[in-house]
Structure 1
Amino acid sequence: MMNIKRQRGIGLVEIMVSMVIALFLLLGIGTIFMTTRSTYGDQQGLSNLQDNERLAMFMLTNVIQIGGYFPDPVTSTAALSLPVTGSYVVAGQAVSGTDGATDIVRARFMTASGDGIANCNGGANTSGANVVYDNVFDISNNTLRCAVNGGNPQPLVTGVSDMQVLYGVDTTSSGSVTQYFAAAAVPNWNNVRSVRITLNFVNPLAAQAGQPATLAFTKTVPVMNKI
């Protein structure tokens, strides 16, 4: 008699083993996907943070450096162009500030019509006459803002939780900064030669273990007409 081998299908054990192997493979692929996605998100967050740091400091630096400028030094002076008014308690004063949970810093300058010098909101003087711009920077709802000449504050950069400002003062008439003061302690605003700004940015990695909630970025900005 011929030996006829009976054909057999896949058994339950083989099916279970295959399913377990497939699950492990899917778990590995899912883990790789989630890790890659998380890494990409972290890199994107850090990239946005660096862009915000550069942009915020660029805007503050541009305006504060111009502080005290006036267009015609031959026939005028800083004291005549920038008289005592509001927060500016000394004639010719270029910068001012207010201490608080988050500080406020102001810078003013005079522009001539058509000279292309922009205020903190990007506007330029086309009035046909000289105009003084008072630029007021503050922080609200994690946003750096600026208001011009008492207007509504305009948002500039998001992700900024706090701003602390110190003013470099020449206390000995040496021509150089000798000491830094908070706004309320500045002895003579016309002797302020630089402004030291510390911005605290929301850390995009704050949810990770060991990461701080904010990251500080500090820059010292010279005041043009006091260099």
Structure 2
Amino acid sequence: MNDMIKRQRGLSMVELLVVLLIGSFLIIGITQVYLDNKRSYAFQQSQANNLDNGRFATLMLNQYLGKAGYRRDPSQLVEFAFPAMKAKDDCQDFKAGHAVTGFATDKGEGKGTGFCIRYQPQVSGELDCQGTASDVEYDEAFKSPSSNDLIVLAFKYEPDDTDLSEGSLLCKSLNAANPQYGELLTGIADLRLDFGVGSADVLEKEVTTFVPQADWTSASGAIRSLRYSLLLASKENQRDSNDSKVLTDWLANAPAATKTRLENADKKRLYQVANSIQTVRNFMP
């Protein structure tokens, strides 16, 4: 019996508990490393998405703003290339020679944040922002199109009050029989627009002041440049702290209603600001 007892081998209860304790610490450590890496990956992906959205938004907006005021025949006077046009849909009226006009606001004819542009088609069948081809066909170089052939586009920002990452920029062509907005991009928490204006004389190519889009009317003067700022937002719960310097700086100059909307829907999102100033063709030196 004594020999049998001496030949027994194995772990004691104390040794087993020590092994389990050490294993638990290792598992907890590995799990924490995994969670930290996952959080870091989500943070970097959210920031990368904001940066990509910002680059795409500025590229697209600058591309369309670069077309505003385009004349296929440089010898054609801007007043004839862009005749006066009455307010239509969400666009305020275009004065003769003007290529950009304000969006109807809550203070006036309608509601919304945005702007409208017009330009002559550069090539036959040129596509608008919704992919619809123009009916204009050119059979000779530098041919001046009719004033009825102008491409007129309206750009509108549509916020989402509950999910800031779902705010979107919309566009529609006023050349369509029944204009309907189509989505260009999402992820925009807020949009600010300022119009650079100067003398009422289209030959005076100088910006003297910037007017907020909500305050601009056709009496403010021709829009010679457009300054915009986009606040891009990620999905919620992507940052650890309660404060975001980007959001705080943005709220410092935000209207009361916008400030309330952004603060209520913040939910620890990541933010990025993209901005640019574009001069209007034929309205600057």
TM-score, with normalisation over the residues of structure 2?
0.69
SS of residue in 1 equivalent to 2:10: coil
Alignment of structure 1 residues 60-79 onto 2, 5 Å: 60-74=61-75, 76-79=76-79
* Residue from 176, 187, 208 that aligns with 2:240: 208
Contact 1:93–1:189 at 8 Å: present in 2 too? Answer: no
Contact 1:88–1:95 at 8 Å: present in 2 too? Answer: no
Task: Write 1 or 2 for the structure with the bigger share of strand.
Answer: 1
Superposition deviation, residue 97 in structure 1 = 1.6
Superposition deviation, residue 89 in structure 1 = 3.4
Alignment of structure 1 residues 15-94 onto 2, 5 Å: 15-74=16-75, 76-85=76-85, 86=87, 87-94=92-99
Contact 1:168–1:179 at 8 Å: present in 2 too? Answer: yes
Residues 3 and 216 of structure 1, relative CA distance in 2, 3 Å threshold: closer
Residues 122 and 54 of structure 1, relative CA distance in 2, 3 Å threshold: farther
SS of residue in 2 equivalent to 1:224: coil
Structure 2 distance, partners of 1:172, 1:70, is: 20
Structure 2 residue identity aligned to 1:169: V
Structure 2 residue identity aligned to 1:23: S
Contact 1:106–1:137 at 8 Å: present in 2 too? Answer: yes
Unmatched 5+ residue regions in structure 2?
139-144, 161-166, 248-265
Structure 2 distance, partners of 1:189, 1:91, is: 14
Structure 1 distance, partners of 2:19, 2:48, is: 43
Structure 2 distance, partners of 1:43, 1:92, is: 47
Structure 1 distance, partners of 2:3, 2:137, is: 111
Q: Please report the RMSD computed on the Cα atoms of aligned residues, expressed in angstroms.
A: 2.8
SS of residue in 2 equivalent to 1:72: coil
Residues 73 and 3 of structure 1, relative CA distance in 2, 3 Å threshold: closer
Structure 2 residue identity aligned to 1:166: D
Structure 1 distance, partners of 2:193, 2:209, is: 13
Superposition deviation, residue 102 in structure 1 = 5.7
Deviations 1:121-172 (A, max 9, x none): 3445353264211111112240111111162111111101221111111249
Structure 1 distance, partners of 2:37, 2:238, is: 19
SS of residue in 2 equivalent to 1:121: coil
Alignment of structure 1 residues 1-227 onto 2, 5 Å: 5-74=6-75, 76-85=76-85, 86=87, 87-98=92-103, 99=105, 103-114=113-124, 116=126, 118-125=127-134, 127-128=136-137, 130=145, 131-140=149-158, 141=160, 142-149=167-174, 151-171=179-199, 175-183=205-213, 184-186=215-217, 188=219, 191-204=222-235, 207-209=239-241, 210-211=243-244, 212=247, 213=266, 214-227=271-284
Superposition deviation, residue 27 in structure 1 = 0.6
Contact 1:113–1:125 at 8 Å: present in 2 too? Answer: no
Residues 156 and 61 of structure 1, relative CA distance in 2, 3 Å threshold: same
Superposition deviation, residue 198 in structure 1 = 1.2
Superposition deviation, residue 207 in structure 1 = 4.4
**Comparing 28-37 with 139-148, which one deviates more in the overlay?**
139-148
Contact 2:43–2:238 at 8 Å: present in 1 too? Answer: no
Paired residues in the alignment total 224
Contact 1:139–1:163 at 8 Å: present in 2 too? Answer: yes
Superposition deviation, residue 179 in structure 1 = 0.7
Structure 1 residue identity aligned to 2:58: M
Deviations 1:170-220 (A, max 9, x none): 249763312101233356566322100111211456643122344432211
Structure 2 distance, partners of 1:63, 1:189, is: 23
Contact 2:101–2:218 at 8 Å: present in 1 too? Answer: no
Unmatched 5+ residue regions in structure 1?
none
